[in-house]
Copies of this chain bind each other. A is one copy, B any other.
Amino acid sequence: MGEAYATLMSRMKEIETVSQIQGLLGWDQEVMMPPKAAPLRAEQMAWLSRTSHSMMVESTMGEVLDAAEAEGAGDEIAAGNLRLIRDAYDKATKKPVDFVERFARHKSKSIVSWTEAREKDDFSIFRDDLAEMIELNRELAGYLGYEDNPYDALLDIYESGLCVSQVDPLFAGLREALVPLIAAVGDCEAPDMSWVTSNNWPEAAQAQLSHEISSAIGFDFDAGRRDKSTHPFCGGSNPDDVRWTTRYDEAEPFGSLYGSLHETGHGLYEQGRPRHLDFQPAGHADGLGVHESQSRLWENQVGRSLAFSEWAIPHWSEYFPSNMNGVTGEMLWRSVNLVAPSLIRVEADEATYNLHIMIRYEIEKQLINGDLDVDDLPDAWDDMYEKFLGIRSPNRKQGVLQDVHWSMGAFGYFPTYTLGNLYSAQLLVAARADLENDETLEEMWARGEFEPLLQWMRDKVHARGSILSPAELVEEATGQAPTPQPFIDYLRAKIESLYGVAA
Interface, chain A (partner B; CB < 8 A): 14, 17-18, 20-21, 24-25, 28, 32-37, 39-41, 43-44, 47-48, 51, 220-225, 237-238, 240-241, 278
Contact = CB atoms under 8 A, between A and B. Distances in A.
Given A28-B28, A47-B14, A224-B34, A240 B40 contact: yes
Nearest to A37: B241
Nearest to A220: B36
A140 to B, nearest CB: 29
Contacts of A28: 24, 28
Contacts of A37: 223, 237-238, 240-241
A283 B126 CA distance: 43
Given A44-B17, A47-B14, A240 B34 contact: yes
24 contacts: A14-B47, A17-B43, A17-B44, A18-B47, A20-B40, A20-B44, A21-B44, A21-B47, A24-B25, A33-B241, A34-B221, A34-B223, A34-B225, A34-B240, A35-B223, A36-B222, A36-B240, A36-B241, A37-B223, A37-B240, A37-B241, A39-B240, A40-B278, A44-B237
B21 A241 contact: no
A245 B224 CA distance: 21
* Complex A-B, nearest 5 residue pairs according to Cβ-Cβ distance, in ascending order: A37-B241, A36-B223, A36-B240, A37-B240, A17-B47
A298 B271 CA distance: 45
Contacts of A43: 17
A224 B36 CA distance: 8
Nearest to A51: B51
Contact of A237 (B14, B41, B224): B41
A40 B237 contact: yes
A39 B223 CA distance: 11
Contacts of A278: 40
Contacts of A237: 37, 40-41, 44
Contacts of A14: 47
A225 B222 CA distance: 24
Nearest to A221: B34
A75 to B, nearest CB: 25
A205 to B, nearest CB: 16
Contact of A25 (B21, B33, B222, B224): B21
Contact of A35 (B17, B34, B222): B222
B223 A32 contact: no
A335 to B, nearest CB: 33
Given A21-B44, A34-B225, A51-B51, 9 more contacts: A17-B47, A20-B44, A21-B21, A21-B48, A24-B24, A24-B28, A34-B240, A36-B241, A37-B238
A34 B238 contact: no
A92 B244 CA distance: 39
Contacts of A33: 241
Contacts of A238: 37, 40
A14 B54 CA distance: 14
Contacts of A18: 47
Nearest to A46: B17
A278 to B, nearest CB: 8
A35 B278 CA distance: 18
A445 to B, nearest CB: 27
A273 to B, nearest CB: 12
A51 to B, nearest CB: 8
A173 to B, nearest CB: 42
Nearest to A35: B222
A43 to B, nearest CB: 6
Nearest to A22: B21
Contacts of A39: 240
A43 B17 CA distance: 8
Nearest to A236: B37
Nearest to A23: B44
A426 to B, nearest CB: 32
A18 B21 CA distance: 11
Contacts of A32: 32, 225
Contacts of A41: 237, 241
A312 B490 CA distance: 64
